[in-house]
Structure 1
Amino acid sequence: MEIKRLSRRELIKYGGIALFGAAAGGMLTGCSQANFSNAVADGAESVSDGNGGSCAQIPSETAGPYPAHDDSAINVLRLNGIVRSDVRSSLNTGGYTGSSTATGVPLTLTLNLLDVNASCAPLAGYAIYLWHCDINGKYSMYSSGVTSETYLRGVQQTDSNGSVTFQTIFPGCYDGRMTHIHFEIYPSMAEAVDDSYIVRTSQLTFPLATSSSVYNNASGYSASKTNFNKISFATDNVFSDGTAYQMASIQSGNYSSGFVASLDVGIKV
């Protein structure tokens, strides 16, 4: 009898596991999901691209917290203006009246979507939805004080190189989680409106030295510095099983001028 290995997402879906912790004092206390770090083998074998490089299927991770389309009353993917490259400002639409712009160290992030089953060929025409917390560790639309804001959320279509580039800020570090950014992959822009069409859900992170330089030196990240010093990849409930395929590469920059970063994201089509 063939035994089906469930992904983290499937374990969550079928196991009925509660994912999210409550926010305390206006700051998120972190995701309280069960630790799936060693529960599932994700089959992320490396594949050569024929040019001396390689790619691997990115691990599947929980969508939490707050993808903002998991509630029948909330679907950020259907808001006017959500298709955008610069996600720093709020949309002020669909009943969300916030008009704030997220402040923080500038981050230009490129995701390169690759087909693991086709020698790492670029996947054009797919849609990638990205979201993350702000400088204070808060998520727009949900966290205390920013429920009317829609910043740090956006969708884009991959170009002929399989790439999308977002203009955002370096995320804060809230209590209980390492620095991270969430993203979901959809087969097309037309299908990037409902979570039933998701091809892959994952998260990315940054080198320790990069996060440390931001939290120790950049203005506004004092709470992140405290939280960052209490956590590690080994104790994080998402990255404890490794970061090899989820570690963004820093191309250039610093905490003062901002960073340019990228990540190759492999999926099996």
Structure 2
Amino acid sequence: MTTHPDRRWLDRAGREIDEEDRGLVYDVRTLVDRRHVLGLFGGLTAAGLLAACSPSPTVGPTPDTTATGTAGASTADGGLTEVPDETGGPYPGDGSNGPDVLDDSGIVRRDIRSSFGTSTTTAPGVPLTIALTVRDASTGDVVPGAAVYLWHCDRAGGYSLYGQGLQDENYLRGVQQVDGTGTVTFTSVFPGCYSGRWPHVHFEVYGDLGTAVASGPIVKTSQIALPKEACEAVYATTGYERSVDNLARVSLAGDNVFGDDGGIHQVATMSGDSTSGYTASLTIGV
């Protein structure tokens, strides 16, 4: 797969890939490339690397259910299971694939529903509060000063900065530094389900806020999975019509990102409803 200079995505035969399928194609390619690299280590070294992302078989929700626990399962030494590394996808907006929103004035914010700068467009949708708590996987302690960059698609499945007609928008993206409990809380809208992917939210963890807004070294890149029950309730509301069919064609267990372990360390705990809005909470080990 290649990209055309005007950002069209082409397959090996030179045919243009549909907008809604680009995320799936990119994610599959990225995961295949990553697993190929792991395979080069071989033997015990590869086993050790994979063990860091292996879930405990006795914790967490089963696929396609509403989560009731946290992402980081406790270990015997008081630490947490480290959340798996995942692809940032083709629309990160962090400078690694085209646009870089992280150095823009206004990116540090709690409410990410509207664009900032030249546009003030507000993304419509069912209200969603996202509370992400960052912990040291080895100790379970708060990571003081850590920062989180979070982004996701809009109600129609499009990503700001990249989607057709969305190149001048930067909504549903934001950066925050964790508070004293290690938590960042974003005010957003429930993302849609686009073709080939389970509904999800992307995030990157940085050592501190200055590093994040300078697109510095990333501590962790991963994704949050949204529970099926909440997705079905939201997608039954006006504006999410396309998500109904897309969700029916995917499963958490079969997702190319979450499917390895059913997302047991990445499925958010949900509260609320489709009328007043939901809160998605997740504790991650990094």
Q: Taking structure 1 as the reference length, what is the TM-score of the superposition?
A: 0.81
Deviation, 1:73, is 6.1
Between stretches 64-73 and 184-193, larger displacement belongs to 64-73
Between stretches 166-175 and 228-237, larger displacement belongs to 228-237
Structure 2 equivalent of residue 151 of structure 1? 171
Structure-2 separation of matches of 1:186 and 1:57: 15
Identity of aligned residues (%): 41
Structure-1 separation of matches of 2:217 and 2:164: 30
* Cα pair 1:179 1:206 within 8 Å, conserved: yes
Go from structure 1 to structure 2 and tell me whether the alpha carbon gap of 1:72 and 1:56 turns closer, same or farther (over 3 Å shift): closer
Question: CA RMSD of the aligned region, Å?
Answer: 2.5
Can you list the C-alpha shifts for 1:65-88, whole angstroms capped at 9, x where unaligned?
Answer: 211123586310001110000000
Deviation, 1:234, is 2.6
- Supply the AA of the counterpart residue of 1:98: S
Deviation, 1:55, is 2.6
- Work out which of the residue numbers 22, 43, 52 in structure 2 matches 1:43: 52
Structure-2 separation of matches of 1:173 and 1:254: 18
Structure-2 separation of matches of 1:183 and 1:99: 23
Structure-1 separation of matches of 2:279 and 2:178: 18
**Match runs of 1:68-147 below 5 Å:** 68-71=93-96, 74-92=99-117, 97-118=118-139, 120-147=140-167
2:211 is equivalent to residue 191 of structure 1: yes
Deviation, 1:47, is 3.8
* Cα pair 2:10 2:17 within 8 Å, conserved: no
Structure-1 separation of matches of 2:86 and 2:259: 12
- Supply the AA of the counterpart residue of 1:253: G
Structure-1 separation of matches of 2:234 and 2:51: 31
* SS of structure 2 residue aligned to 1:211: helix
Structure-2 separation of matches of 1:122 and 1:20: 43
* SS of structure 2 residue aligned to 1:82: coil
Gaps of 5+ in 1: 1-18
Structure 1 equivalent of residue 28 of structure 2? 34
- Work out which of the residue numbers 199, 202, 217 in structure 2 matches 1:179: 199
Can you list the C-alpha shifts for 1:123-170, whole angstroms capped at 9, x where unaligned?
Answer: 121010000000000000110011111100000001111110000011
* Cα pair 1:28 1:137 within 8 Å, conserved: no
Go from structure 1 to structure 2 and tell me whether the alpha carbon gap of 1:73 and 1:201 turns closer, same or farther (over 3 Å shift): closer
Structure-2 separation of matches of 1:193 and 1:182: 17
- Supply the AA of the counterpart residue of 2:82: Q
2:281 is equivalent to residue 262 of structure 1: yes
2:88 is equivalent to residue 63 of structure 1: yes
**Match runs of 1:10-29 below 5 Å:** 24=18, 27-29=20-22
- Work out which of the residue numbers 215, 225, 228 in structure 1 matches 2:244: 225
Between stretches 82-91 and 224-233, larger displacement belongs to 224-233
Deviation, 1:54, is 6.3
* Equivalent pairs, count: 239
Can you list the C-alpha shifts for 1:16-64, whole angstroms capped at 9, x where unaligned?
Answer: xxx998663x6455321337489462514654488xx863110000111
Can you list the C-alpha shifts for 1:94-144, whole angstroms capped at 9, x where unaligned?
Answer: xxx3221011010111101011112x1111210100000000000001100
Question: Which one has a larger percent helix, Structure 1 or Structure 2?
Answer: 2
* Cα pair 1:47 1:116 within 8 Å, conserved: no
Structure 2 equivalent of residue 9 of structure 1? none
